[in-house]
Amino acid sequence: MSSLKRRTLLLGSLTAAALPAPAVMAQELITLDVQFPFPGGNNKEIHRGIADRFMKANPDIRITLRNPAQQYEDASQQILRASLVNQMPDLSFQGLNLLRVLVDKELARPLAAFIARDGGADALGYAPAVMDTVRQRGDIYGVPFFISTPVIYLNETLLREAGGNIETFPHDWPEIVALGKRIGDKAQNRTGFYFQWDVTGNWMWQALLFGRGGRILSDDERSIAFDGPEGLWALEQFEQFARAGMPNLRQAQSRPAFAAGTLGIHADSSSNIAFAEKQAGDKFKMRVLPFPLGAPNGRVPAGGALGVIHAADPRRQEAAWRYLRFCTNPESQAFMVRLTGYMPSNTRAIADPELLGRFYQENPNQKASVDQLGRMSGWYAFPGANAVRIIDTVRNHTESVVTGRRAARAVLPDMANDVRRLLPSA
């Protein structure tokens, strides 16, 4: 079946799969205001496509999409500002690591009662590992919309030219960096290896730290836990990347470089898989592999976005829940996955051969992220009002190592002290 026909059938199934609306909602039109992040990629197409099909199946609810925020931190700050001037959206999609800020400020509505009323998480297709990422204060304050994990993108053509192959691709960072040096060639404007360290929310730093079995804060979140051996190891990986000559790029540079065939090994988010495959086309063979762990107990952080309900009025909450449930049903999730590289939050979409079961068999690059579900952990959210400032602090210290300005061993205590001063206990 062609991709066009498959997408057409899937879009039609979104409408057919809509759950019946409660009778109490059927009498009066409600317009819901919805915010989402990231104007680039396929995000607008995804949200507009789902909203249009929801409205066809639910004529009593109209969805209005706000202009998208640039990234997760911007989306969170927009909500905080909107709360001060009474201009809150009814529902927004937020980074998993920033839910805590909204819950602490009581700007997110609890959803456990809605989920239980509609049959429970299992019946709706929400896996326990997925829902664990959105639990706060003994309740559920959002439903993941899409999930990403860190993965390795490979230009197999360049890999084989350098004497490597998929079957013997290394699983530890020093060997990966060494292989990248063999691929790199300045004369041909070719970069061998790049680690996308600046992903929003210190996500790739967390990937190295958690992959080594490390933690960020203590159980009571009053003291730093990343200043031990695991945290030093994570920063030392950035240091070895710098020593190997890795340039300091941004996503706006590194992703096009990979798509153009001038970047051999790229550690990045799985969210870009579908777009990268489309851009690579017939220029080279692209492969995606799981993220290497630094210890047997290593984990990978779950990135991505979740839907959060802000509406205070019970009727608007009900309407917002119906829309969020539609966004996270198997059909909508399958539609989203085919346009991105994100993992679905709905396991029924993965299991159904007509939705994603056969799709993953035919698209092994997309399956690389799903294969990491069993070793997935949460995207850590710093406590307190300074959460975004802490993210910036960690990023600035990390950049000093990535650019070779400072050594990891010197940066770690400074980073720990600066974060410590921003914690609520300080």
- For the chain, list the domains and their CATH numbers: 3-148+302-377 (3.40.190.10), 150-301+382-422 (3.40.190.10)
Q: For residue 240, what pLDDT band results from cuts at 50, 70 and 90?
A: very high
Indicate if the pLDDT at residue 127 is higher than 90: no
Lowest mean pLDDT among 20-24, 194-198, 381-385: 20-24
Q: Alpha-carbon distance 267 to 193, whole Å? A: 8
Indicate if the pLDDT at residue 4 is higher than 50: no
The counts of H helices and E strands in the chain are: 20, 14
Q: For residue 161, what pLDDT band results from cuts at 50, 70 and 90?
A: very high
Residue 12's pLDDT is 53
For CA atoms 64, 73, 126, 370, the dihedral sign is positive
Indicate if the pLDDT at residue 5 is higher than 50: no
Written as six digits, the tokens of 138 are 């003994």
Residue 130's pLDDT is 81
Residue range 253-258: average pLDDT? 94
pTM of the predicted structure, to 2 decimals: 0.85
Residue 10's pLDDT is 53
Indicate if the pLDDT at residue 393 is higher than 80: yes
Q: Which of 359, 358, 354, 336 is nearest to 346 (CA)?
A: 336
Residue range 126-143: average pLDDT? 88
Q: Alpha-carbon distance 295 to 203, whole Å? A: 18
8 Å CB contact between 102 and 94? yes
Residue range 12-40: average pLDDT? 69
Written as six digits, the tokens of 32 are 């819901």
Contacts of 26 (CB under 8 A, 6+ apart): 60
Q: Alpha-carbon distance 347 to 356, whole Å? A: 10
Gap between the terminal Cα atoms of the chain: 59
pLDDT digits (tens, 9 = 90+) for 279-305: 999 999 999 999 999 999 999 998 999
Residue 298's pLDDT is 96
Residue 137's pLDDT is 85
Indicate if the pLDDT at residue 235 is higher than 90: yes
Strand partners, 144: 306
pLDDT digits (tens, 9 = 90+) for 163-177: 999 999 999 999 999
Indicate if the pLDDT at residue 28 is higher than 70: yes
Residue 340's pLDDT is 86
Residue 130 backbone dihedrals phi, psi, to 5 degrees: -75, -45
Indicate if the pLDDT at residue 345 is higher than 60: yes
Indicate if the pLDDT at residue 40 is higher than 90: no
Q: Alpha-carbon distance 150 to 20, whole Å? A: 37
Indicate if the pLDDT at residue 409 is higher than 90: yes
pLDDT digits (tens, 9 = 90+) for 368-378: 998 898 888 88
Residue 396's pLDDT is 97
Indicate if the pLDDT at residue 384 is higher than 90: no
State what percent of residues in the chain have pLDDT above 90: 76
